[in-house]
Chain A
Amino acid sequence: PPWDNSLQGIISGFHTLAAGKIGLCVSQIEKRQASGMSYEDAWNMTSVQLTAASEAHCRAIILSSYYTETEKMSRGVSAPLRLVLTQLVELYVVYWALQCLGDLLRFTSISERNIEELQNWYEDLLVKLRPNAVGLVDAFDIRDEILRSALGAYDGRAYERLMEEAMKSPLNKEPVNESFHKYLKPFMQGKL
């Protein structure tokens, strides 16, 4: 089928890709069996392709369930939030299309022009989502006590917290560590 550069089109492309990979694995196994290999050996020889087929199947499942579940979920939310949720789905789907370009070129009718459009779409989405990046992670609503991070605390005092944490190092409890007197000093004074 002709390539459709919409969200549904890309997801459908992933299904085609996954089915293509599975089909190819089956025919590889059959070819190897026909050449006298046992089924088990043919399976083992094809296993790199088999894991790739499994991954493709899983990508298709994740993309389609993310898309359909977000569609359902978005019905009851405010327009600004719906927009952001849709942008996130678009970003995810387009990102994975760009990640899997080789496979899509192999198994679907995606063209160079479609790919260029996808790249531009992706970069536009980054720009659109950027103002909401902090809001999006704030919405995960993870307390500082759970985050346990000097860099990620809600108040953004990253440098102050890094310094506070550094001061907790046991080495900072004394100005001179005993290893200086024991090892370094004799060495430095040529007494070793």
Chain B
Amino acid sequence: VNPDLQKERDNCTFNVTELTNLIDGGPQKTEERKKREEMVFKEGIHIDEVPSDYLSHKEKYELAVKKACMLFKMMRRLQEEENAGMENYMALLGGNLGSAILGDGSPLTLHYVMFIPTLMGQATVEQQAYWIGRAFNLSIIGTYAQTELGHGTFIRGLETTATYDAATKQFVLHSPTLTAYKWWPGGLAHTANYCVVMAQLYTQGKCHGIHPFIVQLRDEETHMPLPGIKVGEIGAKLGMNGTNNGFLGFDNVRIPREHMLMKNSKVLEDGTYVNAPSSKLTYGTMMFVRVMLVHDVCNYMAKAVTIATRYSAVRRQSQLRPNEPEPQILEYVTQQHKLLIGISSVHAFRLCAAWLWDMYNNVTAELETGDLERLPELHALSCCLKAITTSDAAACVERCRLSCGGHGYMLSSNLPLTYGLVTAACTYEGENTVMLLQTARYLVKAWRTAAHALPPTVSYVGLARTGRRS
């Protein structure tokens, strides 16, 4: 170990393991995590013959698919050996472990993070029985397509149509224009063979707004795109080049009526539309992903500050005082300012994410009983927290890169790649300005109704208004 780094460790005033346990949620959780990591790295899937930085775009994708499959195979084996729940090993594919193996993103991420959760949240019990087992086994690979080339977060503006044909009991999916092409979903390009598609539902001549449909994209045997399906990759991006983001267009593609996810709204055989108790229920998947995102950015920030802080203990530069040797750059207060705020931000976001996760679970449990009262509050919170944590995290990673000087610019520092992953989160699942405006809508409403009791997170608005009046 570098002597400067060792000296830092010797001078630490608290028990590092105690803090690790606290972050993990207890010594047992730390042990479980370490055991899981040990098992994964023992397999050697993370070791690259050639650094992936020097591979072509196509080779990077092929490597990402290979590793994702090896990871899944290992996960299934461990699950059988240990008789452990799937959720234990889902952790392997997301978070730190997943990104360790699949450095620039995985083409299977959306299968686990959005396709399966959407089936769980939006499919009927019968639909879940049919689809979820196949999805868990990776007999089918799915993704989730909402955003269109010409339409982003404003989902009411989506153009893809799903028109019900009562004569054949089928929906006809169609992309009327180029701007209606689905654009962005991870895994869509060459990996997934099924997809949850958000489309405007038309039945009995009337539009009922956007609804989710499960659509087969590729033949299960040959993997060739099915007739009427126009699918491909969107091209190289700033980061996340292993995620295989794709585009998708429909030319009057027919799917059975049962392929509409009907947990909330339904279309009966004769074409009658049965409304959902609340149109807001379709926002469930997006809220779930935003809550998960806050967790994810904590991991990226923790990585970045770990790299920059250790480097700052090793690196020596300039002269702080005359006739003294070059000090560790950690001695400079400007460097401490860059690093320590990053460290405290990780803790702030981690605790905030845990708090938001509890609230998400409480509100979704209330939803099951038909109580929608706190849904707007959760929606507003998840929007602004997603926006602020991702933008702060991107700024933090960039600050860490700058704090490592030219060495931070090297891909081998892993800071540029981490920046690519974090800054992507500012855009996906709702661009940040749009997210902040959604929260603003809720806040303005809260201000106007401040005479009535307000939910806990905006109760201060009521107090402020009362104070202003007095």
Asked if A140 and B14 sit within 8 Å, CB to CB, the answer is no
5 A-B pairs in the complex with CB atoms less than 8 angstroms apart:
A88-B340, A126-B340, A127-B333, A158-B310, A158-B407
Q: Which residues A37-91 have CB closer than 8 A to chain B?
A: 47, 50-51, 53-55, 57-63, 65-66, 69-70, 73, 77-78, 80-81, 83-85, 88-89, 91
Distance in Å: Cβ of B304 to nearest Cβ of chain A: 9
Interface mask (B148-168 → A, CB under 8 Å = 1, otherwise 0): 000000000000000000000
Kindly identify which residue among A23, A29, A81 contacts B14, using a CB–CB cutoff of 8 Å: A81
B interface residues (Cβ-Cβ under 8 A, vs A): 1-2, 4-6, 8-9, 11-20, 22-24, 30, 34, 37, 41, 46, 50-51, 54, 96-97, 99-100, 103, 302-303, 305-315, 330, 333, 336-337, 339-341, 343-349, 351-352, 354-355, 381, 384-385, 387-389, 404, 407-408, 410, 412-415, 433, 436-437, 439-440, 443-444, 446-448, 457-458, 460-461, 463-465, 468
Residues of chain A touching chain B, judged by Cβ–Cβ distance below 8 Å, are: 15-16, 18-20, 22-23, 25-26, 29, 47, 50-51, 53-55, 57-63, 65-66, 69-70, 73, 77-78, 80-81, 83-85, 88-89, 91-92, 95, 123, 125-127, 129-143, 145-159, 161-162, 165-166, 168-170
Chain A residues near B99 (CB, 8 Å)?
146
Give, as a whole number of angstroms, the nearest-CB distance from B276 to chain A: 27
CA distance A123 to B458 in the complex (A): 32
The CA-CA distance from A145 to B2 in the complex, in Å, is 18
B12 touches A142 (CB 8 A): no
Chain A interface helix/strand/loop/mixed: helix
Q: Are B352 and A148 in contact (CB under 8 A)?
A: no
| Given contact pairs A131-B8, A138-B306, A162-B407, a sample of 8 additional A-B residue pairs in the complex whose CB atoms are under 8 Å apart | A84-B13, A89-B348, A95-B341, A126-B336, A131-B11, A132-B13, A142-B303, A150-B407
Beta-carbon contact of A151 and B37 below 8 Å: no
Q: Once bound together, how far apart are the Cα atoms of A92 and B24, in whole Å?
A: 21
Q: Which residues of B contact A154 (CB under 8 A)?
A: 1, 310
Quick one: given A57-B443, A138-B9, A162-B412, are A66 and B310 in contact (CB under 8 Å)? no
Contact of B351 among A22, A70, A127 (CB under 8 A): A70
A141 CA to B36 CA, complexed, in Å? 14
The residue of chain B having its C-beta at the shortest distance from the C-beta of A126 within the complex is B336
- Nearest CB of A to B405, in Å: 10
Q: Which of B8, B16, B415, B440 contacts A149 (CB 8 A)?
A: B415
Give Cα A131–Cα B20 distance, bound, in whole angstroms. 18
Distance, CA A172 to CA B302, complexed state (A): 33
A75 to chain B, nearest CB (A): 12
A162→B415 CA distance, assembly (Å)? 13
In the complex, the answer to whether A59 meets B388 with C-beta atoms within 8 Å is yes
Q: Looking at the assembled complex, report how far the CB atom of B396 sits from the nearest CB atom of chain A, in whole angstroms.
A: 12
Cβ contact within 8 Å between B15 and A80: yes
Task: Give chain A nearest CB distance to B467 CB in angstroms.
Answer: 8
Q: Is the CB of B14 within 8 A of A133?
A: no
B20, B339, B346, B348 pick with most chain A CB within 10 angstroms: B348
Q: A77-B18, A158-B314 are known contacts. Are A58 and B2 too (CB-CB below 8 A)?
A: no
Ranked nearest first, the 4 interchain pairs of A and B with the lowest CB-CB distance are A156-B2, A152-B307, A19-B464, A135-B12
